[in-house]
Amino acid sequence: MSELKNELGQPIGWPLADWQAREHPRGAVMQGRLCRLEPIDKDRHAADLFQAFALDRDAGNWTYLPYGPFADQNQLEAWIENTCLGDDPCFFSVIDLATGKAVGVASYLRIEPAVGVIEVGHIHFSPLMQGRPISTEAMYLMMRQVFELLGYRRYEWKCDALNQPSCAAATRLGFLFEGIFRQATIYKRRNRDTAWYSILDREWPVARAAFETWLDPANFAADGSQRQRLSVLMQPGLTSLRA
């Protein structure tokens, strides 16, 4: 995009005269082929979530989250009540449509409807989701909600810069690495340098096409193995768009 300048000759951003604040994602239900995301509910989801999370025997999935693991269901229920029922973060349970059970959680946070910026985070997928297409579909549904149904401009992913699986997931899902904020916060009594990633509204059509091609049942062999990798589908178009 060519550079714009004001009457003083100073470079400025492109105009957004028709921009209007977007809606908050509270109350959304996101339906896919493999899963449904719905607002987290202690009474409907806690028992399933505790059982699913307990399958992580060494609790390694909690390393980079500021809470957990939970010793019993009561602790998980207290966490839901104290952390998950507000407007920001805005938590959802992931329901596996094959079983009808809650198998993971994710949220929108740092929600700024006035400027169209929103982050995805607090992602905790149980072993019942990890390495399966359901986890990718859950992320696709949340991204689609943000860009297509709510009309946000920027979707962010942030994680501990030492959390290599999360960094790799961000890149695989189409987010662009933007840098590291050093000593950004403290959690579990240790430092966190935060890696920042984003994807923009104008990049969403390329990402959407890649997601939908990858999630198509035809992309999977009889043994469940993928025929095309999401990164192969995703990155060429995004790289060209971002050049």
Q: Please give the pLDDT value at position 190.
A: 98
Handedness of CA 200, 103, 122, 29 (dihedral sign): positive
**Residues 238, 156: Cα–Cα separation, whole Å:** 16
- pTM to 2 decimals? 0.96
Tokens (6 digits) for 4: 């714009």
* Helical pair 133-144 and 204-215, crossing angle rounded to 10 deg: 150
The contacts of residue 117 (CB under 8 Å, 6+ apart) are: 110, 152, 153, 154, 156
Mean pLDDT by 10 residues, the chain (243 residues): 85 93 98 98 98 96 97 98 97 98 98 98 98 97 98 98 98 98 98 98 98 98 96 94 93
Could you tell me the domains of the chain? 21-242 (3.40.630.30)
**Residues 243, 134: Cα–Cα separation, whole Å:** 31
Q: What is the residue whose two structure tokens read 């409907």?
A: 44
Tokens (6 digits) for 151: 């009309």
In terms of residues, how long is the chain?
243
Phi (first) and psi of residue 96, to 5 degrees: -75, 115
The contacts of residue 173 (CB under 8 Å, 6+ apart) are: 136, 139, 143, 157, 199, 207, 230, 234
Environment class of residue 57 by beta-carbon count within 10 Å: exposed (0-12), middle (13-18) or buried (19+)?
exposed
According to DSSP, residue 60 is labeled: G
Q: What is the CA radius of gyration of the chain?
A: 19
Q: Please give the pLDDT value at position 3.
A: 79
Q: Please give the pLDDT value at position 221.
A: 96
